Structure 1
């Protein structure tokens, strides 16, 4: 007997929830990721009306809800202690927003920006231990808050060319509150520079993988195209996902007008529902 097909979720701003509400309610509630917390004006303002709007639009929704946390300029492995404290404050504010929504995950960005040969950058012989210490310092007040609020931090690959530094970082916390996130399009981009294919990322992450952003590109730019419009091997990716012990959140992170096309393509390929 074939295993059941994985269920697709999607990433949206709150203002577009009503447009996709019928689809979100399918399959007992698809996974959803709200994108509003990436905007400084949301985190610095009164978000209560926005949260109320989301709650109204999601009345009756029973799926897994998360947010994409802030990321612009927030390099959590900065060597500057002042910068690390600033980033921690930004993350804590976003966690409070997530808690008001009733969310259970927040995406943050990997600190392993690529600089050097794929097999040399961010390795034990080239500063990995120090980088991990700085990330722990950044998150020392963030992780307890996430735990108290019932939120998992999923760390997304950005310009990571090698899965091992991110896996080592996540493992270093020894906590169910910190897990890996795979952006399929980012992995495909870095594959052109010597990194592994997205399906190999799944295999390397194994049970640490809790979340995926599903998007495609041509290997040149982070285009957030619909699956099937770029060069990602989607069959290999979904075959690798079948080997995992539990189902990660599968979030379509494409341009919003492309969401119906993206979902329909994966369904037509027999890869998801």
Structure 2
């Protein structure tokens, strides 16, 4: 037995099937899984998503690890000002939640990742006459209200993931403003490291501590502080001992999901983390 946290994996279904050793890696230790297929353009239209959901349910039948999805994000933000486009965003998000409910067969316990509405422009214009913090929060509530109700009714957590966020506390406060157990916080380590290196945000471990007990989910990826790399752990220059130390201070360990640009880097990342005594 080990007290080290166990890492999960973000995967397209084709990667779960096609990468040598991936099924055993996931199944042998009931690792948490995040299905990425619903991020693709067209995946949430018409009768496409039910077929993907049914395939996922079959592939993970009997799997005891937790299952979630990455929600849609291409072409819209969760703080859409145009009500017509907002309706499209709501429909996409609702379809993704419906897919997750179908995969889980109504049992709950899943998560859906949605991207933060906060941009670099907003970060640099905070506290100026161009600041739109109140508007961003208001529009995000307007967009997500139906999804939050749906998540509450089905035992699912929507987790808000940092992308360009410079202030790690702002997204945490936004999640808390919903006053719902169905809205919590996600951290992407590479996004945080990019923001630290390129836009003056605090380091990754500060993002962990800013979220505290609200942190339900983490995308683990390495980076260089310049761009969104999604490199194998150990390839970039994130200070991982500090990140895992901060994670270890939390009352409950979040879902730790390795999210790679090349899913073949998932297994080497876990081997590296184990070799460093950080996770298994």
Please give the range of the TM-score, normalised by the shorter of the 2 chains.
over 0.9
- The TM-score, its normalising length taken from structure 1, stands at 0.93
Match status 1:236 vs 2:252: no
Match status 1:208 vs 2:214: yes
1:124 to 1:95, Cα distance in 2 relative to 1, 3 A? farther
Q: Report the alpha carbon displacement of residue 26 of structure 1 after superposing the two structures with TM.
A: 3.3
Matched residue SS, 1:7: coil
1:122 to 1:144, Cα distance in 2 relative to 1, 3 A? farther
Matched residue SS, 1:108: strand
> Tell me, which stretches of 5 or more residues in structure 2 are unaligned?
none
1:149-160 to structure 2, matched below 5 A, reads 149-160=154-165
Q: Report the alpha carbon displacement of residue 50 of structure 1 after superposing the two structures with TM.
A: 2.8
1:30 is matched with which residue? 31
2:149 is matched with which residue? 144
Contact 2:10 2:33 in 1 (8 A): yes
Match status 1:10 vs 2:12: no
1:76-130 CA distance string (max 9 Å, x none):
1122222222211110011111111116110000000111665x52789932122
Q: Report the alpha carbon displacement of residue 60 of structure 1 after superposing the two structures with TM.
A: 2.0
Please, which of 177, 181, 205 is the counterpart of residue 176 of structure 1?
181
1:45-84 to structure 2, matched below 5 A, reads 45-84=47-86
Contact 1:199 1:240 in 2 (8 A): yes
1:208-234 CA distance string (max 9 Å, x none):
100000001112221110111011110
Q: Report the alpha carbon displacement of residue 156 of structure 1 after superposing the two structures with TM.
A: 0.3
Please, which of 121, 134, 137 is the counterpart of residue 126 of structure 2?
121
Counting matched residue pairs gives 269
CA-based RMSD: 1.9
2:266 is matched with which residue? 259
More displaced, 50-59 or 263-272? 50-59
1:15-61 CA distance string (max 9 Å, x none):
2223422111233x111000000013221143344333322322221
Q: Matched residues in 2 for 1:174 and 1:256: separation?
A: 35
1:223 to 1:125, Cα distance in 2 relative to 1, 3 A? closer
Matched residue SS, 1:181: strand
Q: Matched residues in 1 for 2:232 and 2:69: separation?
A: 21
1:151-179 CA distance string (max 9 Å, x none):
11000000001112211101101111001
More displaced, 176-185 or 126-135? 126-135
Q: Matched residues in 2 for 1:215 and 1:180: separation?
A: 17
Match status 1:133 vs 2:138: yes
1:13 to 1:25, Cα distance in 2 relative to 1, 3 A? same
Q: Report the alpha carbon displacement of residue 189 of structure 1 after superposing the two structures with TM.
A: 0.3
